Amino acid sequence: MTYSASSSMLLLGATAILSTLLVNAASISPRRVPLWRRENDPNWKARGVSTGGWLLLESWIKPSLFEQFTNMPGFPGDEWSFCQQLGKVDAANQLRKHWDSFYTADDFHQMASYGLNLARISIGYWAFEVRDDEPFVQGAEEYLDRAIGWARDAGLSVWVDLHAVAGGQNGFDNCGRRGSLLWGTGDTLARTYVVINKIIEKYTAPGFSDVVIAIEFVNEPVANRIGIEIVKDYYENASSTLRSKSSTTSGVIHDGFMGVRSWDDFHPRSDKLILDVHIYQVFGDQVYLTPEQHVAAACAFAPTLKEASQFHNIVVGEFSNAMTDCTRWLNNFLLGARYDGTLSGFSSAGSCARNSDPASYDAVQMRRFFEAQIQAYEKTDGWIFWTWKTEASPEWDFSEGVRLGWIPQPLNDLKYKPCGDI
């Protein structure tokens, strides 16, 4: 998950729509509880983390892999350019070392020990299908399978997330090729159906279906650029395929930055679909908010999310503890930040010099912000923090947040309850 300066308006637009949602809940028949509640525990909520930067590279999460390209102005800093620049042999060697070391079984056991119950594992289409003229290296599928086994051993469930599709669904580096937004043209949809069908066929079968409770059909498609009907048709077809294979695995659709009300008529109140909403406060003018204003903004989502949940089962599938965009390369490889004015078009609100130093943060402010978000997002069917670990970005790092006391242990030990009794 990263966003360019131009994409920030998309996120702000989606946030604005979500923030102003007004629903007369009394006039709406209750939606059915999601499959995972009916099949497991009626009180079960997703409380998870993502494995960002592992099976799909993002330079800001694992910058050590991209240091070798810092003397190349204009280098995109995505997985396509990583593999293209190194060549398949060298890229494969570096990726194997990264896949072997960045996550291990110990990570999944530690997730469970922190009270988490779900891992959202992101992967690109090229793990399952790649053309000869594409530089991508295959092999990540093997590690996804390992991770599902590790999750089983740790007592975690898994949400398989198709994070990147052929052609690129958003133009962000997290779609595999920065600047590419061609999904829905040429043969890109046909290729995506091949991949999602493989994922559904494999991970709803015995040997995986006891752990994989959800499959996300595509992460963060920019629906108003691709075409909302193209996205809806894809969701419809992927949902039908999933239902033909499994009566227990939930399908996940992202809101496409259109806002949750845009999906009211798409299988409303279904127990078989989860609507994935991503909420960040750093990809636009929100970086200029004070810590308490960030807390208030988080609390303000609570009634909106509760009301919107009358239409769909909703999970806040990405959020973080970041209040600035200071993390190195967060806004794309070699680009600066809004907060310190080093990203073109933005004025400085302060310094990013000590962003990677945990001692530079106010622990009480960080704890209050996390608690506010959890209070708000628990009004849905759960939440998933982005991400479990990073190399040098504590506010995006769940494991580091626990160590620093920013994230409560146990998770329901809310010391401040900044949203009050909502």
Cα 280 from Cα 5, distance rounded (Å): 14
Which phi-psi region, left, alpha or beta, contains residue 301 (left: φ > 0; alpha: ψ -120 to 50)? alpha
3-state SS, 317-350, equals: EECCCCCCCCCCCCCCCCCCCCCCCCCCCCCCCC
Concerning whether 141 is annotated as a catalytic residue, the answer is no
Whether the CB-CB separation of 349 and 339 falls below 8 Å is answered with: yes
Structure tokens given for 144: 């996804």
Q: Give the DSSP letter string of 10-30.
A: HHHHHHHHHHT----GGGSPP
**Which position has the token pair 């406060």?**
281
Best CA proximity match to 82, nearest among 100, 107, 64 = 64
**Residues 220, 371, 378, 395: which is the catalytic one?**
220
Q: How many whole angstroms separate alpha carbon 151 and alpha carbon 261?
A: 34
Q: Which helix (H) or strand (E) holds 242?
A: helix 228-245
Choosing from 58, 79, 318, 371, which is the catalytic residue? Answer: 318
Residue type, 64: S
Q: What is the DSSP string of 89-102?
A: HHHHHHHHHHHHHH
In the block, tokens 């983390």 appear at: 49
Place of tokens 């629906």: 223
Short-list 319, 373, 323, CA closest to 350: 323
Cβ atoms within 10 Å of 135's Cβ, excluding its own = 18
User: Is the C-alpha dihedral spanning 70, 72, 74, 78 positive or negative?
Assistant: negative
Q: Active-site residue 216, yes or no?
A: no
- CA 373, chain centre distance (Å): 15
Catalytic annotation, residues: 220, 318
